[in-house]
Amino acid sequence: MNWNIQYMWLSGNQHPSFSTINRFRSEHMKDCVNSLFIQELKINDPFRMENMYYNWKDDYYVCPMGQHMEHVGHRKSVSNNGYTSWIDTYRAQRCEGCPLRGQCFKGKGNRTINVNHQLKRYKKKAFERLTSERGLFHRSKRPVEPEAVFGQIKTDKQYKRFRHRGFTKIQMDFGILAMAFNLQKLIKNVGKDQIKAVMEAFSALFGLLFASLWALWGKFRKEENSVNKNRQLSNRNLIAA
């Protein structure tokens, strides 16, 4: 397909896949299963901070061994983007001699955890929305709406990374790409008569705008010429005097 530019244009620069089911199983299925297995272990890990019991009234965590992890600090954190968050620190009283220490953590001293309670509330709210009836409805649309668009942008358009740096420039970068992508879809979905009507409307609009700007430019030039003439006359009168 790459050697014929006509076929590349007709296919939208798409490349066929020659991978068979057996080849997919042998090369990719093992990694997928391992990744899912590790994620499942992390979700059910009792030593994770997210799975520990938290007493919000007295402000302490309880480790899997039943020991209280008391609040010992509160600090401010600012990210590279300038976002400010507050981190609370909790520390166990005595981890020495605990039979679960080898599974709990590998560091020295007593275990310490850092918790962002605001972030935990945001995650809980997001989880409730995603698992609600409305959230399930929108999630069911995800495979057929945004995923296909991102696949076309990355594969067909070969747009796999941003061309600029900085949040503002990236917004501009992706905004222009999104407008061009939507215009291409609009042209494909509407008929020729509608396209002609849209082009005529744009031509009339830009024609009026250009005519207004041209009239303003002519008025400005006329005023500038009159000012120059008056200045020349005043200079001549001064010289004559």
Query: Secondary structure of 129-155 in the HEC alphabet?
Result: HHCCHHHHHHHHHCCCCHHHHHHHHHH
By percentage, how much of the chain surpasses pLDDT 90?
13
Whether residue 213 is contained in a domain is answered as no
Q: pTM to 2 decimals? A: 0.48
φ/ψ (deg, to 5) at 231: -65, -40
CA–CA dist 71, 17 (Å, integer) = 56
pLDDT over 80 (residue 97): yes
Q: Are residues 57 and 37 in the same domain?
A: no
90 pairs with which residues across the strands? Answer: 71, 113
H helices of 45-159, in order, are 101-104, 117-130, 133-141, 146-151
- For residues 233 and 19, the model is more confident at 233
* Alpha-carbon separation of residue 77 from 58, 73, 114, 116, 118 (angstroms): 24, 13, 12, 10, 13
Q: Are residues 115 and 172 in the same domain?
A: no
pLDDT at 1: 43
Tell me, rounded to whole angstroms, the distance of Cα 206 from its chain centroid. Answer: 34
pLDDT over 80 (residue 44): no
| Residue labelled with tokens 């244009």 | 9
Q: Are residues 61 and 35 in the same domain?
A: no
Antiparallel, parallel or unpaired: β 84-92 and 60-62: unpaired
Element (H, E) at 60: strand 60-62
Q: Are 211 and 219 in contact (CB under 8 A)?
A: no
Total number of domains in the chain: 3
Q: Could you tell me the residue range of the domain that residue 181 belongs to?
A: 146-189
Q: At what angle do helices 133-141 and 117-130 cross, to 10 degrees?
A: 80
Q: Please identify, among 129, 160, 178, the residue that sits at the C-terminal boundary of a domain.
A: 129
Q: Are 89 and 113 in contact (CB under 8 A)?
A: yes
Interval 137-161: pLDDT, tens = 888 877 677 777 888 888 888 888 8
Whether residue 19 is contained in a domain is answered as yes
